Amino acid sequence: MNTFCALMRLTERNIKVFIKDKANVVFSMLAPLIVLALYVLFIGRMQSDGIIASLAEYGVSADDAVRAFSDSWMLSGVMATSCITVPLCACGTMVYDKNRGVSSDFAASPIPAWLPSAAYFLSVVAAGLIICLIVLGVCFAWLGVSGSWLLSAGDVFACIGLTFLSVLSSSTLLVFLIGFLKSEGAFTGINVIIGTVTGFLTGAYIPVSNFPAAVQYVTLFVPGSYSAALFRTFFMDGAVSEMAEAVSPQFATELADSFSVRLNFFGEPLAAGWAAAILAGTVLLFGVCFVVSSVIRAKRIK
């Protein structure tokens, strides 16, 4: 019981350290904010106008369906990037404690060697879930206010569950990788690189189908790509159906393919169940790697 209480208190302490650094919290939201800003200022209008103009050539008007499709695609990218960048910034507490000697204090204290690492992991997951669920709520509000709400109750609960799975997947991977860093400068550099590249590899800025084949294959080795594909599936299912009714099922299918609504896995469409299984597999794989590396580092410190 005492060990459990120590774990919870240490986890709470790590969360407070992360939230107290307002700049770090804002930076964790930088990538999603960039996606939103680019969409509002440039990408959204270009996408909507292009689709509307193409339909106008055939005498078809489906402005509402097009806006719902574009808004849903953009919000999928916002959620996919948030589930990566927020846990990444929350990992900063691990690096800061190493530089301040806090990790050595933990090693010298009468607590199990695994407890500090477990507390870091739980705090990263908790911080990621809190902020990402808030972002998800904002996304739902955006769809409602803009008149693009086409989600069913099942889609809403699926998005919430996917947020939990996505944050858990990215957290296990990131705490494992960040655990090898020792300087704040290195962490800042990794933070900037991952925050920038994430938007491209998950297709938040440009649909993955527009990338060269080699780059598309690279995205298949990025767990966030599967998270983004699932978010698109749940966010855009209603929008694709609306497009099919407003125009035609064939047009809706081709449009969904061009915007990478369904992930292409080495030339074959990947079912949502398999994408979720891959995400769950990354949780198990990198969770084991993190536990092993944490035990080794704790023994070296002692």
Q: Dump pLDDT digits (tens) for 270-283.
A: 889 999 999 999 99
Q: What is the pLDDT of residue 293?
A: 86
Contact 182, 95 (CB under 8 A): yes
Q: What is the pLDDT of residue 159?
A: 96
DSSP per residue over the chain, as a string?
A: -HHHHHHHHHHHHHHHHHHH-HHHHHHHTHHHHHHHHHIIIIIHHHHHHHHHHHHHTTT---HHHHHHHHHHHHHHHHHHHHHHHHHHHHTHHHHHHHHHTHHHHHHHSSS-TTHHHHHHHHHHHHHHHHHHHHHHHHHHHHHHHHT-----HHHHHHHHHHHHHHHHHHHHHHHHHHTT---HHHHHHHHHHHHHHHHHHTTSSS-GGGS-HHHHHHHTT-HHHHHHHHHHHHHHHHHHHHHHHHT-HHHHHHHHHHTTSS-EETTEEPPHHHHHHHHHHHHHHHHHHHHHHHHHHHHHH-
Contact 74, 33 (CB under 8 A): no
Q: What is the mean pLDDT of the chain?
A: 86
- Whose tokens are 């948030």? That residue is 82
Question: Region 259-268: what's the mean pLDDT?
Answer: 84
Domains held by the chain: number:
1
Residue 169 pLDDT > 90, yes or no? yes
Contacts of 93 (CB under 8 A, 6+ apart): 14, 17, 18, 120, 123
Cα separation, 273 vs 43, whole angstroms: 30
Q: What is the pLDDT of residue 182?
A: 82
Question: Region 282-292: what's the mean pLDDT?
Answer: 92
Residue 1 pLDDT > 60, yes or no? no
Question: Region 214-227: what's the mean pLDDT?
Answer: 90
The whole-model pTM stands at 0.91
The pLDDT tens digits of the residues spanning 102-131 come to: 777 777 777 887 888 899 999 999 999 999
Residue 302 pLDDT > 70, yes or no? no
Q: What is the pLDDT of residue 29?
A: 76
Other residues' Cβ atoms within 10 Å of the Cβ of residue 123:
26
Q: What is the pLDDT of residue 301?
A: 62
Q: How many residues does the chain have?
A: 302
> Quick one: three-class SS letters along 68-102?
HHHHHHHHHHHHHHHHHHHHHHHCHHHHHHHHHCH
Residue 27 pLDDT > 80, yes or no? no
Q: What is the pLDDT of residue 126?
A: 95
Segments forming the whole domain that contains residue 186: 2-301
Question: Region 136-143: what's the mean pLDDT?
Answer: 91
Question: Which of 273, 252, 268, 240 lies closest to 73, judged by CA?
Answer: 240
Residue 246 pLDDT > 90, yes or no? no
Contact 73, 23 (CB under 8 A): no
